[in-house]
Amino acid sequence: MSEVDQKVARWLQTNTFHHSEFWDMQELVRAKQEAGVTISLCIPTLNEEKTIGKEIIVFKSELMDRYPFVDEIAVIDSGSSDDTLEIAASYGADTYLSADILSDHGFKPGKGENLWKAIHQLKGDVICYVDADIKNIHPKFVTGLVAPLLYRPEIQYVKAFYDRPLALSEGVRPSGGGRVTEILVRPLFSIFFPELTALMQPLSGEYAVRRDLLETLPFPIGYGVETSHLIDVFQAHGLDAFAQTDLDRRVHRNQSTIDLGKMSFGILQSFLNRLRHYDIVSELPEVNGMFRQLQAEGRRYEMLNREIIEEERPPMISLPEYRKRHGRN
């Protein structure tokens, strides 16, 4: 077994958790108080009126009203045209338009933009991000991710993973990431960052991170944000800064192949930018931002061109407004 394989095997034993380990809410509240941290829950949204209400009800009733675990629940919205914000507010979440946060810096559409601006807007020492389209929502989507940070101070960044069985056999749960992870990200990690292949689902939208780390990371505004974070944290702090928690199952809408292609293109741009930034590959050409897909309708064939540029927001700590708001001067 190679040195990398040995390290991955050890990490999987020590830094991979199951949400059921953190079932005792009273114990979690005690651990939170002992750690002396505050916890913010951020739900980035764009037209999620069908699922956002249930998420807020579950999280607020169980993790704020019943147990004082989460200190704030905030929806950061990209400009929904449906009733996402109204529904979220009616059930007790704080709601913000991304465009209104740090407005002097403008607004860029994209999930990464929402995640970045949440660092400025929210108050917690730990920020837990949870996607808004989860149909089987449960408190474990927060507790399972935050808990390792409470018990293990050396852990900085906790990712979620869920069952995605590739085959079924007795006593075996072969799991992997989604289609983009297994076809694009895992092969790239295997070549350039093999230790990061220990992460079951590097693109999962649920993760909890310490503010002190989040504020130092640049944020691609689009699909590349999760991949870039993993590479940047790994380069600075190594694999032991990460943990992952098995949340069993996640039910959500599946994206079309066309949309997965767009996602892959954005991720690949960010990945190549990281290779260039860390001088891992020399003489990389400038990335062409035009993504070309083909569509056939009968005997009519059409080229669909879409420009996808993975712009990046700078580390939040570099903004004077942030340092003033959060006492970082």
Instruction: To the nearest 10°, report the CA torsion of 15, 21, 25, 26.
Output: -90
What is the C-alpha to C-alpha distance for residues 144 and 18, in angstroms, rounded to an integer?
A: 7
Query: What are residue 72's DSSP bridge partners?
Result: 40
247 closest CA partner among 13, 11, 68, 22: 22
152 burial type by CB count under 10 A (0-12 exposed, 13-18 middle, 19+ buried): middle
Residue spans of the chain under pLDDT 50: 165-174
Cβ–Cβ under 8 Å, residues 217 and 114: no
- Which residues span the domain enclosing 150? 3-325
141 closest CA partner among 15, 247, 288: 247
Show Cβ contacts of residue 102 under 8 Å, excluding neighbours closer than 6 positions.
Answer: 117, 120, 319, 321
Query: What residue type is 218 in one-letter code?
Result: P
130 closest CA partner among 245, 12, 271, 21: 245
Phi, psi dihedrals of residue 200, rounded to the nearest 5°: -60, -45
What is the C-alpha to C-alpha distance for residues 273 and 223, in angstroms, rounded to an integer?
A: 13
CATH number at residue 270: 3.90.550.10
pLDDT attached to residue 177: 54
Buried b (16+ CB within 10 A) or exposed e, 1-31: eeeeeebbeebeeebbbebeebeebeebeeb
Q: Which helix (H) or strand (E) holds 212?
A: helix 211-214
What is the C-alpha to C-alpha distance for residues 193 and 278, in angstroms, rounded to an integer?
A: 12
pLDDT attached to residue 295: 74
- DSSP secondary structure string, 85-116? HHHHHHTT-EEEEGGGTTGGG----SHHHHHH
Give the number of domains in the chain. Answer: 1
| pTM of the complete model | 0.90
pLDDT attached to residue 176: 52
